[in-house]
Structure 1
Amino acid sequence: MTAIAFPNESTTLLLPGPAGALEVAVDLPEPADARPLVAVVCHPLPTEGGTMHNKVVTMVARALRELGATTVRFNFRGTGDSEGEFDHGVGEREDLRAVVEWVRATHPGHALWLAGFSFGSFVTLSSAAELQPDALVSIAPPRPAAAGNSPASRCRRCRGWWCRATRTRSSIRRRCTTGSIRWSASRSWCACPRPATSSTAS
């Protein structure tokens, strides 16, 4: 990560990531306001149109710059010009780790804040124990992440695992371990076929 210099002006760049290049936007505060602080801001669910250009994400970044922080926004894998494919919160944590390692390598004396909106807050919250930021800013975090629970649950029929981190108000898309499934928002099992030998109550 140290091969890519941190810019000394507001710009976008491509940073090497675990699944390919990550599109990164760096924005600097006004010189008179600048503090030794870098804030990484994570965007909402990519499959619902979330990107680093999301209005809430850009407003949060602007507010942080007004506090004197240098802000780093980036697109998770498979979003915008970032390479790779959506990975249901698992690979996205690796993306965040790569960005944080770059920030820390180029700003060893600076404080690190992590901020996220919705799915982005799930990623930052679930990575906090490993990354040890100096502060967390979470906007509309998913309930399982906010409560400190694992985002994984089992389907009561097929016993496949699904990820609750991708929940949205308008629809819920989850996955069995055996493939993509559309799930009902009102049930705790998936659309998988009921096993012929099972009498599991619904």
Structure 2
Amino acid sequence: MELMDGEIQEMLQDEEMREQFIERMIDQYNQQILWLAYTYVKDHALAEEITQDVFLTCYHKIDTFRNDSSIQTWLYRITVNKCKDQLRKKKIRSFLTFENHKQDNLAVEENHPESITFQSMEDQVLSERVLALPTKFKEVIFMHYFEDMKIREIADVLSVKVNTVKTRLNRGRKMLKSMYEEESE
């Protein structure tokens, strides 16, 4: 969903087009933004509030979008900033169990109750472990593995160097691996 400069100008002039564009963005990115916000604040209601605020900000600030990056990257940047602001304000420390996320990876016998239960438990354990990571590792793991973002895109979203993203991914993976190894001992 890339925009050309002319399209942005046209949208700014036509309120109905602006609303339709925002609705398309909500349909396309709502779940990703919600999940990203949740990885920061670990509170579903607060993550929903942040998600709404992201799209409201987008609606009001679409004229500031310079098309230097994708809309998705721009939305992620807004989300990260809003989450960091929220954490600074409230110093959230609560940890909630992550609700069962995407079930794309279900075993072949996806309708088999044992298979669904087992995959659900594995997903929950992985989610809890990712959420337990320090924020700087959790955010790159989420963006890279759950959102399939390229390292360059992550660097743009977080305003850090590509090598910083690579280092954080590597350290985050090592932390997750050690969590699994500790459990098996």
TM over 0.5: no
Q: TM-score, normalised by structure 2?
A: 0.29
